[in-house]
Amino acid sequence: MKYAILFIGLLLAGTASSQHVRFGVKGGGDVSLFNASGPQNITAKPGFGGYAGGIVEIGKFDGSRPKLQFELVASQRGIKNNYKVGDDIISKRSISLFQLSFPVLFRYFIRPSFSLNAGGAFNYNVYAQGKTTSVKNNATVVNKYMDKDQLQRVQGNLLLGINYYYMLGFFLDVRYNFFGTPLLKDIGTLNYKDNLHTIQVGVGYKFQHQMKGKGRK
């Protein structure tokens, strides 16, 4: 974890030299779909959460179309599944996941107020707790996946998104994240697999800081 933060800091320092840099903050909500497979029929249900973080945007100059963006984001995700036998739901699972993410993305501005974004992220899963409730007798089992070493601590994901600046400094951020590696491991269920998809919608504000020269704003 500390080596990842150090690497990102060194990368930022090298990239930002003699460039136009803007700092910002962002936050919003997300919807998670957690696809899992096993001997039972497991269906994904929408889970809701939120996120907040900081941004560093780097371009050759203020009005350049291509830019790089580095982020540090904390997310609290809600994940839900139903376990079914045939068409009957036998139990329901909910997972609370706290995650730190380090996205790096390439941004291309089609217009000064609108950009397309693509990239990837390194994610560190800090905490995850699951609750599985039986539909028949309402009995609940709590699983602290960290205690059983069942939580995949490090995950990578790909991301696609858009940004729209609706007034000076303020922007709307919409993003899709696909996690290609599983969240849980060593579950004990034969042929268990999972992957996480999230859609984030939020707002943010970017300040401006000049490393060299003068900007337009």
Residue 32: which CATH number? Answer: 2.40.160.20
- Rounded Cα distance, 114 and 122, in Å: 25
Report the pLDDT value the prediction gives residue 40, as an integer from 0 to 100: 66
In a domain, 216, yes or no: no
- Note whether residue 215 is domain-resident: no
Residue 148 pLDDT: 73
Distance of CA 150 to the CA centre of its chain: 20
pLDDT, tens digit only, all 217 positions of the chain: 555 555 555 555 555 455 789 999 999 999 999 988 766 678 888 999 999 999 999 988 777 789 999 999 999 999 998 887 766 778 888 999 999 999 999 999 999 899 999 999 999 999 999 998 988 888 888 888 877 788 999 999 999 999 999 988 999 999 999 998 889 887 766 567 888 999 999 999 999 655 444 433 3
Give the model's pLDDT for residue 44.
85
d(C-alpha 121, C-alpha 178), whole Å: 10
- Provide the domain count of the chain: 1
Query: Would you say residue 11 lies in a domain?
Result: yes
In a domain, 187, yes or no: yes
CA angle 75–201–24, rounded 5-degree value? 70
- Closest to 172 in 3D by CA, of 16, 15, 29: 29
Strand partners, 177: 159, 198
Q: Is residue 110 included in any domain, yes or no?
A: yes
Q: What pLDDT is recorded for position 3? A: 54
140: containing domain: 2-210
Q: Which two tokens stand for residue 62?
A: 């203020």
3-state secondary structure of 201: strand
217 lies in a domain? no
Tokens of 58: 């780097």
Residue 147 lies in a domain: yes
What pLDDT is stored for residue 217 in this prediction? 38
- pLDDT at position 68 is 95
Q: Where are the alpha helices (DSSP H) in the chain?
A: 2-16
How many other C-beta atoms lie within 10 A of the C-beta of residue 106?
Answer: 14
The DSSP letter of residue 203 is E
What's the length of the chain? 217
From residue 143, alpha-carbon distances to 99, 119, 136, 151, 186 in Å are: 17, 33, 19, 11, 13
